Homo-oligomer: A and B are copies of this chain.
């Protein structure tokens, strides 16, 4: 159930004193091969953290030997000094692993704008290298070391009957939005794959998993998803079967992020059907998922479909109020853009809410996962800088 599930991978997670409280804050994931193919997807934020700039650069080779990840600081808005820290981190890992810095990606998460304590990071890389192991415990330690406001470590894996597997770890609890959450994720596989097939598979998996999670509409400076392939199973994977397995692991991880989102009291799925296109369905679902009035109504267990209809109406998608149906937790509340009665029949007292929006215009469908807007979200994001 971790990045060490596939053969050929070792991991470690340690406390490097990047975080003042002494909690684990540095992880290392190493691909021992025989293959070292890799692909990455990064934030579309124009303000990119130093480790994102570094990792995008090294990923152009399509190869990775290792990934260093740290919590306790995003190394974003840190200028040349911050970029040098990311570079030095990769150099240090290369030194202890006996490879080139160009084979090492770096990921960071935490407060934007502060320099990382470079010495602590570099010393931590050395310590982590000494603790690398291919065990589930080592995978869990890595997943634990990248937690910020996460309350639980997040891992997933899939083992295919054909003899290969996919594993993954992720973090992310706030600033979670399209083009990925404030999230870092490392995915591993021991399937033998054409290196050219890795990036399409990763993009396809991310598009319908991490990209469909939207907690607060905020897009991070640090989002990174990396896929490392070792080929250690010796088994060639069918590209379609591999993409499906990778997608399943990514969806599992995305659901874990939804369940652990900051201040969450309700897990909400916004399902749109009947849109003119899939893009329109995503647009409508995302607009509803982001609407503060919808999110506060859900927190209050109030089946306020009028706020949903209003959000549908201001989305940048084709919408006809005359063919708009809204169903919450199985109860049809609005049909043809008009109240269908039954508002008090919809029971929203539980933790799961499903909002179904039928637009009646075409075949486009999509689902966005989100959460409610609670007192705890406000508390967590106002009382603590992050």
**Interface positions of A (Cβ within 8 A of B):** 44-48, 74, 76-79, 82, 111-115, 174-175, 177, 179, 216-221, 290-293, 296-297, 299-300, 302, 304-307, 309-314, 319-321, 324, 334, 336-339, 343, 373-375, 377-379, 381-383, 385
Contacts and interface: CB of A to CB of B under 8 A. Distances in A.
Contact of A45 (B175, B305, B310, B379): B310
A221 B314 CA distance: 8
Contact of A383 (B300, B306, B310, B339): B300
Contacts of A296: 377-378, 381-382
B375 A309 contact: no
A113 B334 CA distance: 8
Contacts of A385: 297, 302, 304
A334 to B, nearest CB: 6
B290 A382 contact: no
A309 B221 contact: yes
Given A47-B337, A291-B218, A112 B310 contact: yes
Nearest to A220: B310
A79 B337 contact: yes
A47 B45 CA distance: 31
30 contacts: A46-B312, A47-B312, A47-B321, A47-B324, A48-B321, A76-B306, A77-B334, A77-B338, A82-B338, A112-B309, A114-B339, A175-B293, A216-B293, A217-B292, A218-B292, A218-B314, A220-B310, A292-B373, A292-B381, A296-B377, A296-B381, A297-B381, A297-B382, A299-B378, A299-B382, A302-B385, A373-B378, A375-B375, A375-B379, A378-B378
Contact of A77 (B48, B218, B337): B337
Instruction: Tell which of A48, A115, A292 has the most Cβ of chain B within 10 Å.
Output: A292
What 4 pairs across the A-B complex have the smallest Cβ distances? A112-B306, A47-B313, A300-B382, A296-B381
Contacts of A82: 338
B44 A382 contact: no
B319 A47 contact: yes
Contacts of A343: 113
Contacts of A291: 217-218
B77 A339 contact: yes
A155 B316 CA distance: 33
A45 B319 CA distance: 10
B302 A382 contact: yes
A114 B297 CA distance: 17
Contacts of A46: 312-314, 319-321
Given A44-B314, A113-B305, A314-B44, A321 B77 contact: yes
Nearest to A308: B112
A108 to B, nearest CB: 13
